[in-house]
Amino acid sequence: MLDVQLFGFQAGGSIISRACLFTSANAAPVISYSSGHDGGAWGSAFVAAFFALHPLHVESVAWVAERKDVLSAFFGLLCLIAYGR
């Protein structure tokens, strides 16, 4: 609903917001989690970039409004970080 309020029925705005906001939001916990286990900054950055660029499920890419996989991955990663600490 927020995307419709902000961008109307144009798909471009919601695609950009989903790609920028949720992809970067998921890459940050991946860097944090992998740097705590790996210890190397470059390796963690590579893992986070690969995680951000390569989708886990095709449905998350094919459907613009499908955000439950992306949000569940974000909160799952936060749970892994909290469990590790």
Does pLDDT of 62 surpass 80? no
**Domain residues of the chain, as ranges?**
2-84
Rg (CA), the chain: 14
CA distances from 23 to 38, 39, 43, 83, 85 (A): 22, 23, 18, 22, 24
Q: How many CB atoms lie within 10 A of CB 34?
A: 19
**Tens digits of residue pLDDT in 41-50:** 888 888 888 8
> Is the entire prediction scored with pTM above 0.75?
no
